Structure 1
Amino acid sequence: MAKSKQAVLKQAVSKKAERKAREAIVAACRAMNAKDFNQGAAGNISARLGEAMLITPSGVDYDELTPDMIVAMDLAAEAPVRDAKTGFKASSEWRFHRDIFRARPDVAAVVHAHAPYATVMAMLRRPIPASHYMIAAFGGASIECTDYAPFGTPELSELAVAGLGPRQGVLLGSHGMIAVGPDLKRALWLAGELETLARLHFLASLAGGPVILPDEEVLSLVERFAGYGPGAQKR
């Protein structure tokens, strides 16, 4: 039976949206490296696409990454996926991307990076407290740091989801950081802000220790940040 004109149009729109999302992931990966908060093929990025996600492939340098290399993976999948056409396998960290999307309907993009200062804080196993008011952009008065678990494991995924909670960022113990958002533009912006917060807090700690803002002060700013920055909900 021939497809209706409406069905054909819907399929074309869907393919166009997927292509645009693939291109946006590639651009975001290169932007991470250009901004010096990631290196080579380290880190990974994903974007929600209906009941699936698009995620960077395993072990591909971002300078060589193309939209066709991005791997599509059903959010119901219980094992890593290899693209039948390209042969590329989903990032080794596919599990925590999938589990964050499952746990957080508000999240449409996940950025994971080994940003230098965020990773230093993760190596020290230190959360980032409210030493600067921009922490309110992450939805709370601190950015938590999880315990360590090996990369790609269910244990790491559980720690990531729990450490993230309702907030927009988390440090992974002795590993790196995760930032999430309602779209890729905001998730990438938050990843950069998380690295800046980590750098400022670390440097202030070397100079004697920063003053920590009261929780109530930070929490009073959270709602204001919903309308600030890339991908913000304009109010």
Structure 2
Amino acid sequence: MTDREQIVEAYLRLDREGLNRGSSGNVSVRRGSDGLLISPTGIDAARIDTASLVELGLDGRERSAGVPSSEWQMHAEIYRHFPETHAVVHTHSDACVALACQRMDIPAFHYMVAGYGGNSIRCAPYATFGSAALASNAVVALEGRTACLLSNHGMLSRAANLPAAVTTAIKLETLARHYWMTLQLGAPTLLSDAEMQEVHERYKVYGRARMAG
């Protein structure tokens, strides 16, 4: 599957899963060392196709026709700062937006928070959509993490490939919903740093085949 086909498939899946509606959210993949391919601005799942995607340099210079997502700077800044990242997904999924509008980090209320790289999922400070300030805030929030929330906005995930970035976004929406639900009962009991460290150690071998002998 080509990069263009992967982006269209990811865009459609995010719509099917309810993480994005209408023209909200955007998806990109890295192109070489200095470029990216990104979904266009203002397009919904019913109209997106491979020809509508826009290629541009990390400096914003367009390499193909079309108008890129207004959030292209955020994607470009992530690729500049995290060379291991080859795909970025941004959504306005319900539970993530609800927490982001409260400007809340997701703390270690559940061990699966460790799966995003640390003992919390950070919420980046607010900045206007499409701005350089938002891009900078997102990079700081993603340091050592594979996902973050964006205050009064939505969420971001990054990964080595697009299917992984989409999966991360879907799992984060589930985790955010679980956190929102437990807050309805009161402040949850958080796992300690020591308990989370044990989880991080377990994650290093999680999913690997058990060694014989």
TM-score of the aligned structures, taking structure 2 as reference length: 0.91
How much has 1:215 moved relative to structure 2?
2.3
Find 1:111's aligned residue among 59, 65, 89.
Answer: 89
How much has 1:68 moved relative to structure 2?
1.4
- Does the CA contact (< 8 Å) of 1:178 and 1:191 recur in 2? yes
How much has 1:226 moved relative to structure 2?
5.7
Please list every run of 5 or more consecutive structure 2 residues that lacks an aligned counterpart in the other structure: none
Q: Distance in 2 between matches of 1:30 and 1:224?
A: 34
- Does the CA contact (< 8 Å) of 2:125 and 2:150 recur in 1? yes
Q: Deviations over 1:66-100 (max 9, x none)?
A: 0111111122x2x363733xxx2111000010000
Matched, 1:177 2:155: yes
Q: Distance in 2 between matches of 1:224 and 1:96?
A: 32
Partner SS, residue 149 of structure 2 = strand
- Does the CA contact (< 8 Å) of 1:139 and 1:166 recur in 2? yes
- Does the CA contact (< 8 Å) of 1:80 and 1:89 recur in 2? no
Matched, 1:68 2:68: no
Please list every run of 5 or more consecutive structure 1 residues that lacks an aligned counterpart in the other structure: 1-18
Q: Distance in 1 between matches of 2:125 and 2:2?
A: 36
Where do 1:158-173 residues align within 5 Å? 158-173=136-151
TM-score of the aligned structures, taking structure 1 as reference length: 0.83
Find 1:216's aligned residue among 165, 170, 194.
Answer: 194
Give the direction of change, closer, same or farther, for the CA distance of 1:140–1:89 in structure 2 (3 Å limit). Answer: same
Which runs of at least 4 in structure 1 moved beyond 2 Å after TM superposition? 79-84, 215-229
Kindly name which structure, 1 or 2, has the bigger radius of gyration based on alpha carbons: 1
- Does the CA contact (< 8 Å) of 1:80 and 1:94 recur in 2? no
Number of positions where the alignment pairs a residue of Structure 1 with one of Structure 2: 208
Partner SS, residue 177 of structure 1 = strand
Counterpart of 1:205? 183
Give the direction of change, closer, same or farther, for the CA distance of 1:25–1:223 in structure 2 (3 Å limit). Answer: farther
Q: Distance in 2 between matches of 1:153 and 1:137?
A: 29
Matched, 1:146 2:124: yes
Counterpart of 1:7? none
Identity of aligned residues (%): 38
Q: Distance in 2 between matches of 1:89 and 1:28?
A: 19
- Does the CA contact (< 8 Å) of 2:57 and 2:63 recur in 1? no
Matched, 1:53 2:36: yes
Q: Distance in 2 between matches of 1:227 and 1:83?
A: 43
